[in-house]
Amino acid sequence: MTSTTIEYYLHSLGLFDLDQELFYINSSVKNLFTEHPRSVGESYLLHMFNALRFALTFLILFFIALVHAILPFLFVRTVSDIVCEMSKDMECRKKI
């Protein structure tokens, strides 16, 4: 496949501008990454940070709940208290 063929194929997908020979992100592709974060009042990076923070918290809570399942006298209210706090935080981030 020649360079021109690749450029034509990328142009047909809307990923390559033959006139300026520059790669650019198609606006519809960009919307895939920014539409939801904007709907909750966040930038892409801030949304990614918050999602990773929630994921890490859930991972830690999983292990705490696992220990609690085996030894119910440990971490009696830890998981439920943290989930309630996370719920309040999520409530504040509802769609604008």
The pLDDT > 70 percentage for the chain reads: 65
DSSP 1-47: --HHHHHHHHHHTTSEETTTTEE---HHHHHHHHHHHHHTT--HHHH
The whole-number pLDDT of residue 71 equals 96
Between 52 and 90, residue with greater pLDDT? 52
Domain extent listing, the chain: 1-36, 40-96
**pLDDT exceeds cutoff 80 at 77:** yes
- pLDDT, one tens digit per residue, over 25-52 is 556 666 778 888 888 888 888 889 989 9
